[in-house]
Each structure stands twice: as structure tokens, then as C-alpha cells.
Structure 1
């Protein structure tokens, strides 16, 4: 893979340098700038050369959302990866709507960071497991309460068993736990999950979440 140019923004020099150190050993990764504030990155000449912008902040605030929107408008090709302690449902929805393509929770590992950078550069979104679980749980809740589910193409084709598995999936049950609870095999659970995504014409759980948010199936 060709060089991936990365910019880092965070309120603390030490943390920014720490993220750079975590990325240093990957030959394709090139950290081209580090800034304390997003506005400094936006105003820099090097911004136009970045592929990935990593924003590392303890808490997502309204200013964060505004900054993400500004970056998206001025540099639409840059993929934004957010690292934050904020894991509130409302915050996650708002930041995704603003244009964040990746979200890592505070307990993410170095391997998650590396995978996220590669994934974003390849044109896909990346959310750590706990973030995906929060989004999926909210989506399942909307199904249970019949919130605009008719607008999601294919939802009416899901069987009662598939809905049941989707609900357990959204509540963080593993394949093994789902299998034990429903008295079926793990392979059957995996098969049902595949059918669910096929019927909804989606490829990943993240696709499901983003589709639900985009189409206001998840209300925020």
C-alpha cells in the first residue's frame, strides 16, 4: 500500500506524541503534522496533503462537532478518526452525522488504531466494538418500538427468528451466547446473521447503523 499521510489533533502534546509513537512502526504511516487545535490544522498548508485526521479529545462538545463539519466542507477527502472517552448515545449519533468516519473508544488497543487507519484509507468506516454495540442496541430498540422501520428496505422480509437474533446481537450477546439461549448451533446463528445483512442489502453491522441513522430510523 502507498503512503498514508496522517495528521493528529489533541489538546495535549504528550498524548499526540504518544499516538504518533504507536503509529511509527508501520512503514506506510507518515504523521505529517501535530496540532493542539483543529483550527490550526485547517489553517495549515499541510492540511491539503493529509489522508487521515485523528482527533484525540477527552469529551465531545458542540465545538468538536463544528470542527468536524468545517474539516468535511473544506477537505472532503480527509477521513476523520475520533478518539474519545465520550460514549453517550446522543454524542455518537451527532458526531457521525457531522462526518466522522471512525470512532475509537478510550479503551481501544494499538491494533484497533492501526486497523482503523487502514480501514478509513480503504474507503470504509470503522467503529470500535463498544460503539457499534451502542448503535446496534438503539437500532434494535427502534425495531421493538416500530419506529419508522418500514423505511428500511428489506426489514419486512426478516423472520421472527431473525428479529430475535438481531435483538440479542444488539444487546451484546456473542454468537455462542445466542446459540445457547435459542438452543441452536453457532453455525446457525452465523447463518442467520448473514441472511439478515443480505436481506437488508448491507455488508457490515456498521453499514446497518449508518443506514439507520441516515434514514432517521434512529431518532436523535
Structure 2
């Protein structure tokens, strides 16, 4: 099977490549440092598996890229690699096309098993993620309540890109240049973000972004 590894740390990409290339049935054909490069490598190599880190600053995060890649390259199965066993991350990435979710501190054997599992078309969830979270994913008890508190359901993909930049202190012009859009577009997105999340000020937005781990990427 052909694999692409996306992680912003070169040592992680190198280490994982060595582990996976050692397997007779696996070959790492490319690596990427952020979500944009991951998309490009998937488009170029059409891998069977993409191992995607969620948090890849300063480029596009794996969280944002997962939805784009799963939509455009349906034959590539995505295994999410993360430090977080958080239900909001789990729900979002699985509902947006990822086929697996594994923690970075998992043993090498578990990573290999996860890759082979999703290659066969099965779902893989790290054993450290509690069964209650998986049960809630499969049999949600209160979708309205969950959606109301989940920024990944309330906000659009573009708004999820803009919110962390606002929280980090970037001005509207800086964000507009970074995302290649107009200042008015950023102002409109900012207003919608504040309205959707019921926030009144930048300090509230920063506090919200920290609480939801949105500043990690």
C-alpha cells in the first residue's frame, strides 16, 4: 500500500517513514508539512492511506485539510494522528471523512495495525479513546445540544481558518492577505463568527479559542 505522512515536525515524518517502510506491504511515497502540502501530495501520488496530523502550524491544519481531501480523493483513506483524545476532534474528523483516529503516543505496533485496519475498509479508533465517545458518535443522544457547543458544526471551514488568526492578534488586512481574499470578506466572516458563537469581544474570542484548542493549529 502507498502512504503519505503529513506532520509539521520533520523528525516525526522521518521516524514514521522508517517504521512503515520497514513493513513489507507498505511504502511511504511522500511526506508533507501542512494541510496544503498534504493535499498536493495526495493529488500527485494518489496514496491508499494518508496519515494526517491535526495540528500543523503555521500552514493549513490537518483539521481543515481532512474535509477537503476526503471530498476530492475518495479512494485515499485518512488516518488522523493527534495528541488529543477530545470528543469534538473525534466527531468532526470522522464525520468529515477520516477513517481512523490514533494518538501520537501509541506504540509502533498500534500504528501499523491502524494502517492495515483502515486499508481493509474498516474503522480504527485508538484504544485510549473511551467507548462512551464512540457510542455517542454512532448513537448521538442530543444532536441539537451537541451542535450548539461544537464550533466544528457551527462554523464553516473558512470560519474555522479565520477564528484562530483573529485570536492570535492578526488584523483584518493581515488575514485577508494570508488567505487571498478582501478585507471586507474577512470583516463579514468575523461578524458571523462572533454572532454564531455569541461572543461580544476579542478577549472572549481568545478565551473561546483556547478552551476549544483552536489555537493549537
With normalisation by structure 2, the TM-score equals 0.59
Instruction: State the partner residue of 2:49.
Output: 52
Q: Which runs of 5+ in 1 are unaligned?
A: 139-205
Residue 125, structure 1, aligned to residue 52, structure 2: no
Aligned twin of 2:113: 115
**Alpha-carbon separation, structure 2, partners of 1:63 and 1:115:** 25
Question: For 2:107 and 2:26, how far apart are their aligned partners in 1?
Answer: 17
SS in 2 for 1:76: coil
1-structure distance, mates of 2:89, 2:26: 29
Tell me if the contact between 1:11 and 1:57 (Cα under 8 Å) persists in the aligned partners: no
Query: Any conservation in 1 of the 2:55–2:63 contact (CA below 8 Å)?
Result: no
Normalising by structure 1, report the TM-score.
0.58
> Taking structure 1 as reference, are residues 55 and 44 closer, same or farther at Cα in structure 2, changes over 3 Å only?
closer
**Are 1:9 and 1:55, in contact at CA under 8 Å, matched by a contact in 2?**
yes
Change (3 A) 1:29 1:217: farther
Q: What's the Cα RMSD here?
A: 2.9
Q: Does residue 18 of structure 1 match 2:15? A: yes
- Structure number with larger C-alpha Rg: 1
State the partner residue of 2:67: 69
- Listed one character per residue, the Cα deviations across residues 73-110 of structure 1 (whole Å, up to 9, x for unaligned) are 11011111111111222222122222211111132111
SS at match of 2:63: helix
Alignment partners' CA distance in 2, 1:218 and 1:115: 35
Residue deviations 1:170-214, cap 9 Å, x none?
xxxxxxxxxxxxxxxxxxxxxxxxxxxxxxxxxxxx6x5542259
Q: Summarize the Cα distance change of 1:6–1:45 in structure 2 as closer, same or farther, 3 Å threshold.
A: closer
SS at match of 2:13: helix
- Quickly say closer, same or farther: Cα 1:69–1:213, change in 2 above 3 A: farther
Q: Separation in 1 of the partners of 2:109 and 2:68?
A: 29
Find runs of 4+ consecutive structure 1 residues off by over 3 angstroms.
44-48, 57-60, 213-220
Whole-angstrom CA distance in 1 between matches of 2:8 and 2:82:
12
Task: Report the equivalent of 1:95.
Answer: 93
Number of aligned positions between the proteins:
146
Counterpart for residue 39 of structure 1: 36
d(CA) in 1 for partners of 2:42 and 2:78? 18
Q: Where does residue 146 of structure 2 map in the other structure?
A: 219
Deviation of the 1:38 alpha carbon: 2.1
Residues 19, 213 of structure 1: CA spacing in aligned structure 2 closer, same or farther, 3 A cutoff? farther
Distance in 1 between residues matched to 2:120 and 2:128, nearest whole Å: 22
**1: distance between equivalents of 2:125 and 2:56?**
17
